[in-house]
Structure 1
Amino acid sequence: MKYAISSLLLISFFLLQSCMKGESVDLVIHNARIHTMNESGDVFEAIAIKDGKIVEIGPERQILNRYRADEYIDAGLKDIYPGLTDGHGHLLSYARMQLGVNLFGCESYQEMIIRIKKYQAKHKRKFIIGSGWDQSLWDEGGELPTNELLDSIFPDIPVALIRIDGHSMLANDFLLKKSKVIETVSASPEKYAGGGFLYQEDGTPTGMIIDNAMTPIFAMIPEYPKKELTRTMKGIQAELFSYGITGVHDAGMSSKDRKTIEKWVNQRVLKLNIYGMLLPDEGNMAFAEKHGIYENKNLYIRSFKVYGDGAVGSRGALMKEEYSDRHGHFGHLTTPISEIERIADFCERVGYQMNTHAIGDSTNRIILELYSNVFARNNDYRWRIEHAQHIDPKDFDLLGLSGAYASVQPTHATTDQRWAVARLGEERMQGSYAYKTILDRCGLLIIGTDFPVEYTDPFRTIHSATNRKTTENYPMNGFLPEEAITLDQCLRGMTIWAALGAFQENKLGTLEKGKDATLVIFNESIVARPTFKNNFANTVFISGEKVYTVE
């Protein structure tokens, strides 16, 4: 008790001294454990902030004695870290998912139907969109569904149900006929290469549409009302702030979505730091040609997202050898090699980063060879491989030598472990979800969640990355436990390494003099966090502005 009173008196003394003299700043946060995440791993006690920038960070006495602040925050010995960045997420996809039918966690086809019926009774949509289903969770045995039951319940309204990975959907017959999607894709096989349909033995479509063949369906889906979309995005931002996430690498903005995001940024609806990866559509390529590297407030755009292949869950990822559970099937590229090369040439010319979705071992090899050729001319392009899920062990040396940055989502490993071995076999697991091996080769890892495919909670990501287990601690010994990474490595993947992967290391990623005052005061120790829950962050600052607090 005497010690507590003495400490309080000491702090009061320094506050009084700083009011009488010292440099004027906007904010001083003190009595904290401030993890700078710099190379030395320094931890300090106080930080001074002015005009959104860090003026100084250092010992308690030094900062309190040197600066006179408009506001003081006693952090109560709480941990402070740089704001976390989700290195791979989908903001508008998440908003649209929340406005549609939430099918996450359905344990049967019947449960999926029940949720759709309840949703439609409430919202009365003219076009029903659902997302998040995963047949591997169902009682029916894990095979991709057919649409007979869906047709019997919804015979006269279009219904599209997008699988959890976003690489396939189940459509009812009404939608198949109205959209003429099978006829459209069949008439232009080159345009929709890397996609297709599944059929029953008698040749009847099952309703399952894979990868690029979904494009005509997406083109006809009506947008949700602007007010609903804006309200939902505000909620998503608050959710991200509650976890200490202050930035998102938005992995795949169409030109339409880019305009929506920028509008929200200008209106201050979105205060998150957003690093935009543009889809290579005509509008976005014209934008990059005109503007080059583009920065507007908290929106930074200098990259393109290219889809190299599909996902293993729907057997669309391109593998060197056939799938273990489907004879003669190897998956597919979703973008032809010639088009990938054209986009690479364009990116190199306009100074944009190229970030390629590569899941299968064949696709990873193709992209690594392409990157290696480009990096021979300039080795600081920082082009990224998004996911890097399955790599032939023979290609790890190429990965290390190529200079590519890998962007991974550790919860994919613990989610996919239910069926990954069945899809690919034990032998190919040697190069699968190999985050430690990739880190050893590349020297860094950009870490994200891939929301809404996975939860936005970065602490689920930390749990998966460091323990290789689900939140239910399954499997007991971890899934491929030799590929676990440390807590420090995981945090760096969400801070300084993420900043490096977005050319923002001079302003974000660590807490150092001159950088943006983008930081999080956490309620509990990250190391000792006992449960997975919301509101883990106590207070969040972005460029010195308090954007979130639980008080």
Structure 2
Amino acid sequence: MKFFTFTVLSVFLLIFVACTTNKEVDLIVYNAKVYTVDSNFTVAEAFAIKNGVFVDIGTSEDISRKYIAKERIDAKGGIIYPGFYDAHAHFFMFAELLEQVDLRGTKSFDEVLTKLKIYKEAYPEKKWIIGGGWDQNQWADKTFPTKDSLDKYFPETPVFLSRVDYHAALVNSQALKLSQIDSVKPVEGGIIVADSTGKPSGILMDNAMALVKLHIPPPEERPLLLALRRAQDSLFSVGLTSIVDAGLTVEQLDYLKKFYQQDSLTIRDYAMIAGNRASIEKYIKEGFFDGDRLSIRSVKLMADGALGSRGACLLDHYHDAPTRGFLLHSPKEFDDVIKKLAATEFQVNTHAIGDSANRMMLDTYGKHLKEPEKRRWRIEHAQVIAPEDFSKFAKFHIIPSVQPTHATSDMYWAEERLGADRIKGAYAYKDLLNQYGMLALGSDFPIEHFNPLYGFHAAVARVDHSGFPQGGFQMENAITREQALKGMTIWAAYSCFQERKRGSIERGKDADFTILEADIMTVPLAKIREIKTRRTVIAGQTVFERPTD
């Protein structure tokens, strides 16, 4: 009898201990509306987190009854989504721009000059004046500026000013002199633009920019880290927990590996290798780098330039200029590198804007890829597609990676570039979605604003911040709110081979989530851009919390 009593007591104690252990979690979040973005698009009320992953999702009552937590967050009716994922961005560019002259939104070249003079007075010790973000399409005079005014105000200090798309730059004579550019000469995949006398005007397009960039002093390690942290804080403030870093040099990748190994950065970064020959060879030899927060397993190629600077490669002439744009490398060079990468496990993601560039890359992908559905290769931007080429995204299993705010930024002048017929195949997100079955949504920051809600709004409403145009721009290619949310969460994660780790709120996945003050799935469209992020969480740790009033 004593043995029986002892045995029963032992079993009871074991069950009690086991149950107690099972109930201990690090965090419970309750009293919320939780869009899990799972396969059923389930909406829940609460979840529990342990060791940085979700362990259970359900009602507030069930989660509170089943678990004991070290910390509890009452969401107070807040709206929770999986951590937002920007599928195409430029983290280093954004960080560097924070330390440079920010020319985004300037309304004239005179305003550009005013900002440069203020910057020079504030930082007289700077050996170069570097800036970015100007866009002549937003000025009354839409012609490209020249170096003449820069030479007048900055005769001794070299100046390098990237256009908003980072596919063209304006430099002054001092920068040209340091770079030993004294005449207009051919540049593969680029242009040194000539003035009326046949001399360099100061405008460099695409690969020609590298002739000057080589002479700009690289950032030092400590200031670079501080700038990246500042940029990271901005991203956290709008609910971003993961980004795709679209094209980094070996030096930048080495910095990232060092910073993440030192726990100096927190945001999750899927970094693409900028696709030059030396970098590709290096990483083919070394293989993937796959850490908890940093992943390097893809290559970024650049097929052509940008539509705004007429560098995008088109099948026919621009509607407003006697040029078709240009490729940044020869078709044979692209064929060779695609063939080489297709024989590895590396993902390839190619910037392609014009319909000619998109056709060439889709056909080259299709020529070399074996079992393409497993490779998840991407076309970045997929901005202008000829009617007969849409089906190739499905045929070759190519993921369209698009940035909806490009449509609402470019819509003022895009038809001037493309004409009334060709514009119908531009920014055609619904058509692309219908082909592949999903879209990876990004912002392309700092070219566009980093707030993912701006992209969500542009994808669904197809209007700018002021609600223009009435009725939306090419609304036949708007996508639904559910599709847009998937595009910036689970589909973005899928495009980076991470759908089993993040992109939705499900058991066993990284506990990354965002709490907003209102519901982007139900509020009037005009209110979406006004919604603030209340809290951003990565692996169960709060990285941003908006102060309460």
Normalised to the residue count of structure 2, the TM-score between the two structures is: 0.92
> For the residues of structure 2 that align with 1:378 and 1:491, how far apart are their CA atoms?
26
SS at match of 2:390: helix
**Paired amino acid for 1:449:** S
Given that 1:33 and 1:78 are in contact with CA atoms closer than 8 Å, whether structure 2 keeps it comes out as: yes
Q: Does the 8 Å contact 2:100/2:130 carry over to 1?
A: yes
Match of 2:7 in 1: none
Q: Write out per-residue CA displacement over residues 241-271 of structure 1, whole angstroms, 9 at most, x where no aligned residue.
A: 1111001000001101101122221222211
Q: Report the CA distance between 1:150 and its aligned residue.
A: 1.4
Separation (CA, whole Å) in 1 of partners of 2:371 and 2:115: 53
Instruction: Report matched runs for 1:96-495 at 5 Å.
Output: 96-124=96-124, 125-140=126-141, 142-181=142-181, 186=185, 189=186, 192-281=187-276, 284-327=279-322, 329-495=323-489
* Cα gap change, 1:38 to 1:545, in 2 (>3 Å): same
Aligned residue number for residue 60 of structure 1:
60
* Whole-angstrom distance in 1 between the partners of 2:546 and 2:507: 27
2:214 is paired with a residue of what secondary structure? helix
Rounded Cα–Cα distance in structure 1 between residues aligned with 2:221 and 2:123: 16
The answer as to whether partners of 1:22 and 1:68 remain within 8 angstroms in 2 is: no
Give the whole-Å Cα distance in 2 for the aligned partners of 1:477 and 1:176: 47
Q: Which residue of 1 aligns with 2:13?
A: none
Q: Distance in 2 between matches of 1:156 and 1:337?
A: 41
TM-score by length of 1: 0.92
Could you tell me which amino acid in structure 1 is paired with residue 140 of structure 2?
A: D
Quick check: 2:104–2:134 contact (8 Å CA) kept in 1?
Answer: yes
Does residue 502 of structure 2 align to residue 501 of structure 1? no
CA–CA separation in structure 1 for the residues paired with 2:45 and 2:458: 30
Distance 1:223 1:376, change over 3 A: closer
Amino acid across the alignment from 2:471: N
CA contact (8 A) 1:375 1:403 kept: no
Q: Give the Cα separation in 1 of the matches to 2:52 and 2:78.
A: 21
Where 1:426 maps in the other structure, the secondary structure is helix
Q: Deviations over 1:268-309 (max 9, x none)?
A: 221111001101235532442233222123001110000000
SS in 1 for 2:166: coil
Shift of 1:350: 2.7
Instruction: Give the Cα–Cα distance (whole angstroms) in 1 for the partners of residues 264 and 370 of structure 2.
Output: 42
Q: Would the aligned equivalents of 2:275 and 2:300 in 1 still touch at CA under 8 Å?
A: yes
Alignment check: 8 A CA contact 2:303 2:352 kept: yes
Deviations 1:175-200, CA, capped at 9 Å, x for gaps: 112211366x84xx5xx411012112
CA deviation after TM superposition for structure 1 residue 379, in Å: 2.8
Deviation at 1:224, TM superposition (A): 3.2
Partner of 2:10: none
Letter of the 1:369 partner, please give it: D
Cα distance in 2 for residues equivalent to 1:383 and 1:201 = 44
Q: What is the CA deviation profile of residues 420-448 of structure 1, one whole-angstrom value per residue up to 9, with x for unaligned ones? A: 11111111011000001100111000000
Aligned to 2:536: 540
CA distance in 1, matches of 2:292, 2:507: 21
Structure 1 regions of 5+ residues with no counterpart? 1-18
- Looking at structure 2, the residues matched to 338 and 531 of structure 1 have their Cα atoms a distance apart, in angstroms, of 46
**Amino acid in structure 2 at the alignment position of 1:24:** E
**What is the alpha-carbon distance in structure 2 between the residues aligned to residue 394 and residue 376 of structure 1?**
22
How far did residue 464 of structure 1 move?
1.0
* CA apart distance, 1:393: 1.1
- CA-to-partner distance for each residue in 1:461-490, whole Å, 9 max, x for gaps? 111111111101111222212111111111
Task: Report how many aligned residue pairs link the two structures.
Answer: 526
Task: Tell me if structure 1 keeps the 8 A contact 2:453–2:528.
Answer: no
How far did 1:401 drift? Answer: 1.4
Q: Give the C-alpha shift of residue 346 in structure 1.
A: 2.9
Q: How does 1:65-76 map to 2 (within 5 A)?
A: 65-76=65-76
Deviation, 1:378, is: 4.0
Structure-1 separation of matches of 2:355 and 2:64 = 55
* Residue 11 (structure 2) aligns with: none
Q: How far did residue 538 of structure 1 move?
A: 1.6
Instruction: Give the deviation of 1:532 after TM superposition.
Output: 3.6
Deviation at 1:152, TM superposition (A): 1.1
Letter in 1 for 2:535: T
| Mapped partners of 1:179, 1:472: distance in 2 | 43
Secondary structure of the residue aligned to 2:65 is: helix
Cα deviations across residues 298-342 of structure 1 (Å, max 9, x unaligned)?
Answer: 001110000000001111000000011112x11111122222223
Deviations along 1:131-161, one digit per CA (max 9) or x if unpaired, are 0000011122x11112211111111221111
Does the C-alpha gap of structure 1 residues 201 and 307 become closer, same or farther in structure 2, counting only changes over 3 Å? same
The percent of aligned pairs where both chains have the same amino acid is 38
d(CA) in 2 for partners of 1:195 and 1:45?
Answer: 54
Q: Secondary structure at the match of 1:380?
A: helix
The one-letter code sitting in structure 2 at the alignment partner of 1:176 is: L
CA distance 1:442–1:66, shift in 2 (3 Å)? same
* Contact 1:167/1:211, CA 8 A, preserved across alignment: yes
Contact 2:46 2:59 in 1 (8 A): yes
For 2:468 and 2:198, the matched residues in 1 are separated by: 40
CA distance in 2, matches of 1:286, 1:332: 26
Q: Do the aligned partners of residues 369 and 286 (structure 1) sit closer, same or farther apart at CA in structure 2, a change above 3 Å counting?
A: closer
Gaps of 5+ in 2: 1-18
Q: CA separation of 1:44/1:154 partners in 2, compared to 1, >3 Å: closer, same or farther?
A: same
SS at the partner of 2:24? Answer: strand
Between the aligned partners of 1:300 and 1:504, the Cα distance in structure 2 is 10
